[in-house]
Structure 1
Amino acid sequence: MPRQPIVLLFALFGAVSCALADVRRGRSSLLAAGLSAGCLAALAFRTGSPVGTVACSVVLLASLVAVVAAGPWLDAAPLGPLAALAAMGLYLRGTTALGGTGELLVLVGAAVAALCLADREPDDGQVGATTLGLGLLALGLASGTGRIPFWRWGFDPAVLALSALAAGVAGFFSSRGGERRDLAAALAVAVALLASSGSLAELLLLFFVTAVLYVLNAPRRTRAALGALGATLALVLLALTMFPDRIIDWLEAPSDVYGAGFDLSVLSDVLRGARPLGDGVPDVATLATPDFSTLYTLGQAVSAFGWAGLALPALVVASVIAAFLRALPSLGPAERNLALALLATFAASAAGNALYVFHLAPVPAIPFPLLSSSASATISFVLAGVELSRVVGSGACREVQGAAA
């Protein structure tokens, strides 16, 4: 069987998963995502990628098990689109030999743990999430290398802690009294640790989450929005002052194809040579860039799946945002803040990555959620995606039950 029909089936099942998630057919959406992952497993087998075959087969199996065993929250949860995007990312990891079977086990363990935690009773776990984030940052600091050693790998503590710290920010806006002071102190320590380790991307994402929640929780949102805009401008001016070389390199990139613009030139060649459906094999040229591991996975997706490799990630992000907006009226204040914090992290990461890849903004190395070749980013967004789906799905279920009553 030719590869293009398999790619077409993968894209169609992924699009169907997004459409079903938007109309609150969570289990059907996850089933379609599992079939999309199954197509990628077959494609990986055809391209001679055993790691990709196993990884996508695991997503298929996990989707089928979750459809049967997950709680009522899954009925209206946007987990299907996230599963399709995760399968796409794991396929690219396996095909480009960036992952291994041992590392895959770590990712599978994170996904299973996330699904088990998602079936718990809803509670306020933001204090625990903040503690987890601080613990991960402390482990990276204690290692002396800025990484968390695990077997043969080193995980990035800032990336791992990002979703947990975003949940901590949500807890700060949802709590009062002593708990709020404790969270403020813990988050201040986390910001100091991120700054000392040079984790600029994570700092910016955390700042964005805080600004969004600050505006939406303020009694006078217009005044709060103006304050957030002023703080953003101050941050931009600070970045221009502290990192002028980066800004200059970014401005020179379009005309400097052998220096600062090498990455952009390679990506432009990949986009110009992309076919409508690709053939399932990423262009090896995208592996020659120094930033491919976090930034140019979109380029690999386009070279492997054609324009579907760019359209499906955008559709997934839009689908998750739409599912959140539809469930928003049914969410309580604490649930709304938590879901919004996780969604803001997810959407801002996707937007930041796309802005950098297409040379629209000189933002730091922000990975695309679930599509990055970074195991740390994949684990972080798997946990965040399942929790976001649980909160949105639980709220939507209560709305349906209330209407039926």
Structure 2
Amino acid sequence: MTVNFTDFLTAFSSALDLLKPETPHQSARRAYITQNIARHRGLSKPAQRRLFIAALLWDIGNGAHSPAHCAQRLSNIPLLAGCAGLICGAGIHNAEHSLLQLADDLAALSVYEFPRGHYPEKAMQTLCDSIGCKYALDDVIALRDLGLQQEFWKQLASSSLSTEIRLLAPFPAHTLTDTELLQIASLLARVIDTHCCSAMGHSFKVAELSAQLGGLYGFSQTGIEKIHIAGLLHDLGKLAVPAAVLTQKTPLNEMQRKQVFRHPLHTWDVLSAVPGLCDVAQSASFHHERLDGKGYPFYLKSTQLDLGSRIISVADNYAALTEERCYKAAYSPEKSFAIMEENARGGGLDAAVVGALKSGLSVSPDILSASSVQP
């Protein structure tokens, strides 16, 4: 796969933004403000790089969705290691953290000030009141200088801000290696599973089962890597669904069902925007479609669903059935396959893929070992 680091980084930040619909594009706005101030102040390139990445991924380390040992997980990813302290350093106050806090606060405050795209007088006054105790004077002065330029505020309110963010990236274009892509995708999968309260590592189970099925079907190494990444990120859109809804024991009401049914749309919106991830986006986003066209949210039929999508659907079904959930106990493999085979007869799942998984697990029952689902 050919995936640019900056492209995937901005997609990651877009996924995190799903957690806070009240402040749309917060990550991109934070990164835009941070990078402009850093440039205006002439900060070093290493500092600009740390601040840029930390601004986009700031929300990983804040909130109930933050994965366990977040700082350590970031430190284990070479591309992100230098930002671990900034992202997860709650209670730490230094110059770079102060700048990020200033940018985050302005991004949030200016959302509620109208007209959009103009100098947010009230927001700026609020920030200035905290000079010395919360923000550095030099950062606020730089922001005031930038604020004299109408284009700065116009761009901050623009719908094309994500494109501008890519242009502001303070490092040369870098194509992710397969290892790097897997590392960063796995981190995002942990955020997803933590938000969904999936202690069993659902995304990792789906990824491992999907990769094994890809191997059984003779996928190339690249094809197996794609289906593995799709499995890790198939529930990305659930970040837009409140955790309370995802863990509710009683039946969902109509509004809640609509929230859940829309989650593949969010997955598609985020992943399809990344050049090089078209196949991954399809496989990840179509896993709730049915062969008879009665699935959701795109209502695709069998002729429109490629093998990757069918594999993710089967892997997701098996993982969900065999996991304990707040509304059900974990089913045995035998009962799970009985349910899936009935589903296939009714036009839901691909019977051949269900059979392949059943045969594969009978030959290698340790596919879902602890080490394979918790990399």
User: Which protein is richer in helix relative to its size?
Assistant: 1
Shared fold (TM-score, shorter chain, > 0.5):
no
Bigger relative contact order, structure 1 or 2 (CA pairs below 8 A, ≥6 apart): 1
Select the structure of larger CA radius of gyration: 2
TM range (shorter): under 0.3
TM-score by length of 1: 0.23
